[in-house]
Chain A
């Protein structure tokens, strides 16, 4: 059966090595935090200047000076630290962040990422930290549905939307399968519902069965 977004988040959380420094993108990737094993020692980075960010704040914990990248009030964990924006992005660009998890409009077979702009004439472009993360994190995981709402494939031979980063994606976690982008091609490492043969039929991308 296909995975829902919480099940996808759980699969990703299991693949994050203990003790990693991790940035979770705005939206669905934040769900990954709920599935990290207690004691995993994973340290969450938020681009607006904090390491070891805690869960969302509730009630009296809410402090307008303490938010995550999505401007949601959050909390501190012991050992947290604050820093300014140039340092925060040095952590990305300088290769200090072990893993980032982001959403995507499209990922190409060679690992190009498109997730910031549809290119539509009336769209207001907004990139935020997506390009810095895509370029700088040591491993880039994408979390997305394999098909868009209109049925189009989101894992594609080459992106038609404007790129966020070139050859930057390592793994693609979807509701129907997990893919690893390698120099030898796109490996299918797990399937959820469709068979490998179904995926070959569905996608216009050469696949290697590694399930």
Chain B
């Protein structure tokens, strides 16, 4: 099925269930789907596992979702930042679980999920705390740890422009995790600045092909 163009962010996040694993794009605030997250807060789903590079900045976007107590567990590479006080307080109070994953492993686990690869060996983390308890094997005389695919029930992605079929392009470093997360979720929901007619995007420039996109909503923003 080609993507549905939704009239509002509320329509775009309809049906997200309690207990879902939600992949949220963004590196800091660049590429963070703030309007979709606000709509998810209003929609009310809770007991969520959220996968995102960081654990929220200041009080908006992911930080606002955390502040509402909707997230049971964060899977991320870099929770601690100068403006991550919402997460920091929840973590220190024992009110949220944390799984820290090396950033490249986080991306590759989702890439694997989207590509039908259930697990892979990586040298990253071998011989460290984050490699403990994982199956280890030597290749070329070097230790590697077994990492598993990371699937999402839903991906919420911030991008730049989509066409009406759901082909997506991004803007500068706001691309970050978006294209990988789009492949790894059962339902991929993309907020874009603008929706254009099918055929208006250069096929050579499309980054996320429509097959990976289920719902699109336009929220306005830079041309």
Residues of A within 8 A of B (CB): 46-50, 63-67, 71, 82-86, 88-90, 92-93, 117, 122, 124-132, 135-136, 162-166
Contact = CB atoms under 8 A, between A and B. Distances in A.
Contacts of A127: 77-78, 100-103, 130
A89 to B, nearest CB: 3
Contacts of B111: 86
Contact of B30 (A67, A86, A126): A67
Interface string B70-83: 00000001111100
Contacts of A47: 103
Interface in B165-215: 170-180, 207
Given A93-B123, A163-B127, A86 B173 contact: no
A49 B104 contact: no
Interface in B122-170: 122-130, 143, 170
A9 B76 CA distance: 31
B21 interface: no
6 contacts: A47-B103, A86-B104, A86-B180, A127-B102, A127-B103, A166-B126
B169 to A, nearest CB: 11
Interface in B105-127: 105-108, 110-111, 122-127
A48 B91 contact: no
Interface SS majority for chain A: loop
B67 interface: no
A129 B104 contact: yes
Given A64-B30, A65-B172, 7 more contacts: A71-B27, A71-B81, A85-B27, A85-B103, A124-B79, A131-B102, A131-B104
B127 A166 contact: yes
Nearest to B31: A65
Contact of A89 (B87, B91, B98, B103): B103
A85 B107 contact: yes
Interface of B: 27-31, 53, 77-81, 87-88, 91-92, 98, 100-108, 110-111, 122-130, 143, 170-180, 207, 222
Given A48-B30, A127-B103, A93 B124 contact: yes
Contacts of A136: 104, 123-124
Interface SS majority for chain B: mixed
B173 A49 contact: yes
A162 B175 CA distance: 32
Please indicate which of the listed interface residues A46, A71, A92 has the most CB atoms of chain B within 10 Å of its own CB: A71
B128 A132 contact: no
Contacts of A92: 104
B175 A84 contact: yes
A124 B91 contact: yes
A67 B110 CA distance: 23
Contacts of B172: 50, 63, 65-66, 82
A162 B129 contact: yes
A131 B78 CA distance: 12
A133 B189 CA distance: 31
Nearest to B27: A48
Contacts of A46: 173
Nearest to A123: B80
Contacts of B101: 127
A162 B124 contact: no
Nearest to A66: B172
A86 B107 contact: yes
A49 B102 contact: no
Given A84-B180, A127-B100, A132-B124, A117 B129 contact: yes
A67 B28 contact: yes
Please indicate which of the listed interface residues A82, A117, A122 has the most CB atoms of chain B within 10 Å of its own CB: A82
A67 B27 contact: yes
Given A92-B104, A124-B91, A131 B28 contact: no
B74 to A, nearest CB: 11
